[in-house]
């Protein structure tokens, strides 16, 4: 299974490539629907055109049920929804919606629907009455990595565990039965079961080693080395009798390994170094280079064994189809090459203008033509130095000119407006906003209401102060009737009540050499004396 980015390849309409369970068919998700093909020989089986894109197509062997997920720039279905599509009735039979995150993949069995999310896997029954049976937490799994056996007698599923590089296998018939296999040190990149589910092949993001495990007990049976340089692993596939294994890498190579007589041999403790590890892992006996695909021009592809003995099928993300025949000696030959671009995009131009797509059916390498090299003339070094000096002086002169022009005179006054601002003063004046009569009347009413509110607040505060002052006057009158001495003492100012100490000048110092104008200076500062306090607290002052 390979999910494609529609902006990276020649055929911008291709979004998804993936085999069915026995590699007899493969599905293509496009920007306007899906296509189903026979793998070997290449032949279109089914097609359906939507108005928008399909980003994932899960097949159930060669049955008419498909698991669809929207994709591309304009998804046909929400990306957090899975649709089970009946290809015969051309209608939706099951819909799993409102999932918590984007759907990264779908796997189908006759009795189960497995939905792969970014950090979770949910298992549902294959029936109209949906009910979540079980869910598993996984490591970040944006590529939708998961393997599911389709046989009726074995419901084995493998997926990345929470720890990086660890595979967890679960029997869906009894989810409590599970084992964890420490397959790699790096996070997982690809995995695959063989036909009967007894073997599990894994590869990490580093992509140098391919390991085969027993799916029942997790024992490592084989270890193969693809190479020493890291590479992305796109596809892993067993042949029918589980004697061969093919691996497709991002360097554009397909490696074929033999599983017969290559069981793992563990080196001694003194031999555990890089050279011994490199020699202990088995290498491929066939290495096929996919045309036009290299580590500098990476195009994702899927690979599987064909119907003929010792045949290999490669389907690339640029809509190209290859069939290779290999020998046990390591020799191989390309038997067939086809382009699926015309088939994939048939009917698309009926709805979308052709200029929206740039398809490349024929590709040729650029022409490399050039004139014979001419012999350079020998130039005196003094002439070269003279040219450099003249060039240097010219640059310095231009720099000085720029610095001179960039200097700006300081204005006489800091608030002086520049002339160009004065000339364009109309440009800086904000235009008057026209207010309708209704809005103006509304603002007038609001202003009147606000003035009434402020007046009420002021009167309430003033009345509160008047009540306090009247209470104090009544208290003084009562005190005066009781004792004249106490009344006089109450009117005196007590400096200890409000302590305030001044340290420093209390007036402005005289200006040196300043001549006072004619006339006498009169002190007008009010003093808080007894008669002033009596006058201030009298009721006549507030009336």
| Boundaries of every domain in the chain | 183-330
Report whether pLDDT(267) > 60: no
For 353-413, give the DSSP string.
-GGG----SS--PPP---PPPPPPPP--HHHHHHHHHHHHHHHHHHHHHHHHHH--PPPSS
Separation of alpha carbons 234 and 371, rounded Å = 43
- Which residues on neighbouring strands pair with residue 17, listed in sequence order? 2, 28
26-40, 274-288, 291-305, 503-517: least confidently modelled range: 274-288
pTM above 0.95, yes or no: no
Separation of alpha carbons 519 and 152, rounded Å = 121
Comparing CA positions, the residue from 7, 142, 147 lying closest to residue 79 is 142
pLDDT tens profile 135-170: 999 999 999 999 998 877 788 999 999 999 999 999
Q: Is residue 19 within a helix (H) or strand (E), and if so which, with residue range?
A: strand 14-19
Give the residue with greater pLDDT, 305 vs 282: 305
**If you search the block for the tokens 């004065």, which residue do you land on?**
422
pLDDT of residue 378: 78
pLDDT of residue 531: 61
Long-range interactions of 443-446: CB distance < 8 A, separation 24+: none
State the pLDDT confidence band at 5, using cuts at 50, 70 and 90.
very low
Separation of alpha carbons 473 and 534, rounded Å = 10
State the pLDDT confidence band at 105, using cuts at 50, 70 and 90.
very high
pLDDT of residue 283: 84
Mean pLDDT of 97-106: 92
Choose the most confident range, by mean pLDDT, from 115-119, 279-283, 366-370, 475-479.
Answer: 115-119
pLDDT tens profile 409-429: 665 565 667 777 778 888 888
Give the residue with greater pLDDT, 491 vs 238: 238
Report whether pLDDT(269) > 60: no
- Which residues on neighbouring strands pair with residue 302, listed in sequence order? 315
115-119, 349-353, 455-459: least confidently modelled range: 349-353
Torsion, Cα 166 172 173 179, to 10 degrees, reads 10
Choose the most confident range, by mean pLDDT, from 62-76, 294-308, 404-418.
Answer: 62-76
Work out the number of other CB atoms within 10 angstroms of the CB of residue 235. 24
Residue 419, preceding peptide bond in cis (omega within 30° of 0): no
Over the chain, what is the mean pLDDT?
81
> What phi and psi, each to the nearest 5 degrees, are found at residue 517?
-70, 170
3.40.50.720, 3.30.70.1400, 3.40.50.300, 2.130.10.10: which CATH number matches 183-330?
Answer: 2.130.10.10
* Residues 6+ positions from 87 with CB-CB distance below 8 Å: 36, 46, 48, 64, 65, 66
Report whether pLDDT(524) > 90: no
**If you search the block for the tokens 């990476």, which residue do you land on?**
298
């Amino acid at each position: 299974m390979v999910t494609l980015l529609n902006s990276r390849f020649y055929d911008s309409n291709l979004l998804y490539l993936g085999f069915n369970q026995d590699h007899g068919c493969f599905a293509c998700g496009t920007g306007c629907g899906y296509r189903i093909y026979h793998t070997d020989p290449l032949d279109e089986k089914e097609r359906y055109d939507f108005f928008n894109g399909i980003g994932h197509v899960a097949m159930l062997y060669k049955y008419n049920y498909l698991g669809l997920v929207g994709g591309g720039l304009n998804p046909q279905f929400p990306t957090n929804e899975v649709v089970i599509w009946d290809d015969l009735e051309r209608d939706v039979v099951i819909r799993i919606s409102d999932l918590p995150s984007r759907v990264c993949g779908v796997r189908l069995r006759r009795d189960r629907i497995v939905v792969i999310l970014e950090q979770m896997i949910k298992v549902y029954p294959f029936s109209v009455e949906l009910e979540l049976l079980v869910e598993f937490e996984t490591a970040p799994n944006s590529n939708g990595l998961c393997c599911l056996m389709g046989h009726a007698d074995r419901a084995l599923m493998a997926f990345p565990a929470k720890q990086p590089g660890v595979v967890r296998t679960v029997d869906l018939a009894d989810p409590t039965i599970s084992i964890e296999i420490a397959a790699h040190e790096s996070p997982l990149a690809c995995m695959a079961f063989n036909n009967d589910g007894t073997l599990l092949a894994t590869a990490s993001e580093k992509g140098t080693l391919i390991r085969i495990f027993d799916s029942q007990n997790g024992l490592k049976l084989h270890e193969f080395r693809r190479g020493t340089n890291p590479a992305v692993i796109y596809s892993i596939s067993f042949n029918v009798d589980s004697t061969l294994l093919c691996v497709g890498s991002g360097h554009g190579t397909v490696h074929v390994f033999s599983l017969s007589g290559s069981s793992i041999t563990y080196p001694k403790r003194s031999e555990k170094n890089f050279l011994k590890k490199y020699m202990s892992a088995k290498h491929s006996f066939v290495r096929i280079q996919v045309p036009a695909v290299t580590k500098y021009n990476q195009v994702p592809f899927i690979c599987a064994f064909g119907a003929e003995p010792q045949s290999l099928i490669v389907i690339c993300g640029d809509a190209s189809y290859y069939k290779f025949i290999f020998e046990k000696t390591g020799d191989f030959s390309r038997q067939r090459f086809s382009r699926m671009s015309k088939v994939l995009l048939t009917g698309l131009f009926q709805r979308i203008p052709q200029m929206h797509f740039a398809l490349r059916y024929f590709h040729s390498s650029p022409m490399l033509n050039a004139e014979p090299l001419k012999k350079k003339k020998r130039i005196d070094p003094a002439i070269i130095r003279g040219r450099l000096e003249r060039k240097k002086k010219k640059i310095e002169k231009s720099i000085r000119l720029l610095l001179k022009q960039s200097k700006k005179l300081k204005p006489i006054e800091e608030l002086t407006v520049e002339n160009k601002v004065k000339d364009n003063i109309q440009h800086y004046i904000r235009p008057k906003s026209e207010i309708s009569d209704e809005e103006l009347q509304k603002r007038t009413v609001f202003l009147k209401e606000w003035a009434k509110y402020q007046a009420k607040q002021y009167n309430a505060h003033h009345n509160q102060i008047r009540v306090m002052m009247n209470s104090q006057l009544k208290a003084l009158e009562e005190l005066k009737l009781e004792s004249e001495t106490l009344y006089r003492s109450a009117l005196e100012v007590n400096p200890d009540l409000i302590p305030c100490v001044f340290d420093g000048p209390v007036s402005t110092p005289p200006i040196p050499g300043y001549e006072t104008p004619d006339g006498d200076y009169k002190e007008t500062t009010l003093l808080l004396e007894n008669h002033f306090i009596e006058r201030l607290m009298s009721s006549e002052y507030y009336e």
